[in-house]
Structure 1
C-alpha cells in the first residue's frame, strides 16, 4: 500500500472520531453553560477551550466563541466541522481504497455542514446530527471494507483518537464538576446503559471513572481503545523479536495500556488528571511513531494541544 493512502486512512479514522468526541463533549456542556451568568460563561468557556487544546490568551471568550471554535470553524482540525472537512479531504485522496458507501456518507455530511444554524439551539441539533453521521461512517467502514491493511489503518486512527477524546471527557468532568454529574458524562459517552448493566443502580463517582478509564469490554473506554490500537499494530506488523519491540508505536501503546490495567489506586479520582495527561501524551507519541514508521513524512495533522 502507498504510504500516502495509509496516511489518509489513518487520519480519516482520527478525524471521524474527533468530530464524534467533540460533539459529545460540547453537547453535554451546552445546556449548563447556557444557563450560567455571562461572567461565569466566559470562565467556563475558557476552561473548555483549555481542555480541548487551546490555551486562551488574555482575551475573554464567551459562549459564541466556544461554539465557533468547537463546532463551526472549518479551518481548524480541532472543531467538529473542521474535522469532518479534513476526513472528507483525506477520503478524496484515498478514493480508490474507501468504499463507495463511506465516501458518499462523508461527502453528503460535508455538504450538510452548510445547512446548520450557528446559534445555541442550532448547536444542540448540530451535535446530534454529527453523532448520527459519524455512526453511519463507522458502520459503513465496518460493513463495506475488507479487513485488510486499509481497514487496520482506519481502525488504528479511530482507536487512538477515541482514547484521546475519552481522556478529554474525563478531564472536563474533573475541571467543571460544578453542575456536571457523572450520570451526564456517562450518557455523553454512550456508556450509561452499559454501565448500569455492569454496576447496578447503586454507584459512585469512582466506579463511573473506572468504567470509562479501565473497562475492557466497553468500546469507548481508554483501556479498550488502547487494546484495539495494539491489536491493529500487531496485525499491521506481526513480526516478533526475541527481545523488545522495534515498533515504537506498539511499545508506547502497550506501556500505556499496561500501566492503566495494572496500576493500583486507592482513590482513582485524585489521580485522574495525571492519568489523563499520560493518556494524551501516549496518543500523541504513538501517532508520531506510526507516522515515522509507515508514512513518508512527519504529518502536519496533529491535534492542537496534544501532549508531546
Structure 2
C-alpha cells in the first residue's frame, strides 16, 4: 500500500475518534459544570478542563480574552477557526476519506459524507438551538455508525489495519489524558479513602461515563469509584474496550500483522508497551505516582505514533 493512502486512512480514523472523544469530554464537562462547584458556582473551572486537556487554553484566551461558558462550548464544538474543534475534526476526516474513496466501502463513505453535511447544517442552526448534550450524543452516534460500517463491510486487508491503528492510537492517548485531568482536578480528594465524598463520587463517575465504562465498573468492583479502582480498570484491564491496555494490545497485534521490515521500530515499541502493561500492577503505578506515570506513558504513546508515522506513513 502507498504511504499516502495509508496516511489518509490512518488520519481519517484518528480524526473521527478524536471528534468522538472531544464530544465525550465536552459532554461530561458540561454536565459537571451544572453542579455546585467547590469555591465557585459558575462551573467555569469544569468547562475549562477540555481546554487544558487539549492544550488550547492559550489559543482560546488570545481570541476571547476570558472564560465564558457559551463561547467555550462553541469553541470546541463548531468553531471553524479552531483546529481542535469537533467541526474541524469531522471536516478533516471527510477530506481524508474523499482521498481514499477507492479503498473504503460505499457504506463507509456515505456515513462520513452524511456526517459532514449534517454538521454543516447544525452549524447554521446554532449550538444554542440544537443543544450541547444532543450535539454530543449525535457525534458519538455518528462515530459508532462509521465504526460499525467499517467493521461490517471492509476487507480485512492493510487498509482495515491502518484504520484501526488510527483509532487505537487516538483512544489510548485520550484515556490517559482524561484520567490524568480528573486525578489532578480532584487533588487531595483523589486519595483512595475519599470515595465516600459526593464530589469525588461524581467526578470519578463522570470519567467512567465519558469512557462508556460505568456499567463495566459496577460489574467488576464493589463500592464507590476511587483513584485505585478507576485507574486499575482504565489502565490495566484488557477486557474494558477503552482501557489503555486494551488499546495497546490491539496496536501490538495490528502492527505485528503488517508486512515488511520497515515497521520493526514501531512493532518493537508496541510490544514493549504491551509487556509493560501486562506485567504492571496498580500498586506499582500508585507508588510511582499516578500523575508521573500517566505523563510518562502519554509520551510513550506519542513516541509510538511517531514510529508508526516514520515506518509507514512518510511519503518517500
The structure-2 alpha-carbon separation of the partners of 1:87 and 1:184, relative to structure 1 and needing over 3 Å to count, comes to: same
The structure-2 alpha-carbon separation of the partners of 1:32 and 1:195, relative to structure 1 and needing over 3 Å to count, comes to: closer
**Contact in 2 for aligned 1:206/1:268 (Cα 8 Å):** no
The residue number in structure 2 matching 1:227 is 249
The residue number in structure 2 matching 1:212 is 234
The farther-off stretch of 29-38 and 159-168 is: 29-38
Q: How many residues align?
A: 293
The CA distance in 1 between the partners of 2:285 and 2:71, in whole Å, is 33
Question: Counterparts in 2 of 1:134-153, with a 5 A limit?
Answer: 134-153=143-162
The residue number in structure 1 matching 2:309 is 291
The residue number in structure 1 matching 2:142 is 133
User: What's the C-alpha RMSD, in Å, of the aligned pairs?
Assistant: 2.6
For residue 248 of structure 1, the aligned residue among 265, 268, 272 is 265
**Contact in 2 for aligned 1:33/1:63 (Cα 8 Å):** no
The residue number in structure 2 matching 1:278 is 296
The farther-off stretch of 263-272 and 128-137 is: 263-272
**Contact in 1 for aligned 2:29/2:47 (Cα 8 Å):** no
Question: Counterparts in 2 of 1:195-206, with a 5 A limit?
Answer: 195-200=217-222, 204-206=226-228
The residue number in structure 2 matching 1:305 is none
The structure-2 alpha-carbon separation of the partners of 1:227 and 1:41, relative to structure 1 and needing over 3 Å to count, comes to: same
The structure-2 alpha-carbon separation of the partners of 1:154 and 1:168, relative to structure 1 and needing over 3 Å to count, comes to: same
Unpaired runs of at least 5, structure 1:
240-244, 299-308
Question: Counterparts in 2 of 1:36-51, with a 5 A limit?
Answer: 41-51=43-53
Q: TM-score when scaled to structure 2?
A: 0.83
Question: Counterparts in 2 of 1:170-181, with a 5 A limit?
Answer: 170-177=179-186, 180-181=202-203
After superposition, the C-alpha distances for 1:135-160 in whole angstroms (9 at most, x for unaligned) are 00100010100011000000011011
Misfit runs of 4+, over 6 Å: none
The residue number in structure 2 matching 1:109 is 115
Unpaired runs of at least 5, structure 2:
187-198
The structure-2 alpha-carbon separation of the partners of 1:77 and 1:115, relative to structure 1 and needing over 3 Å to count, comes to: same
**Contact in 1 for aligned 2:205/2:225 (Cα 8 Å):** no
Q: TM-score when scaled to structure 1?
A: 0.85
**Contact in 1 for aligned 2:105/2:154 (Cα 8 Å):** yes
**Contact in 2 for aligned 1:48/1:172 (Cα 8 Å):** no
Higher helix fraction: Structure 1 or Structure 2?
A: 2
For residue 71 of structure 1, the aligned residue among 55, 70, 77 is 77
The structure-2 alpha-carbon separation of the partners of 1:202 and 1:45, relative to structure 1 and needing over 3 Å to count, comes to: closer
The farther-off stretch of 201-210 and 91-100 is: 201-210
The structure-2 alpha-carbon separation of the partners of 1:174 and 1:99, relative to structure 1 and needing over 3 Å to count, comes to: same
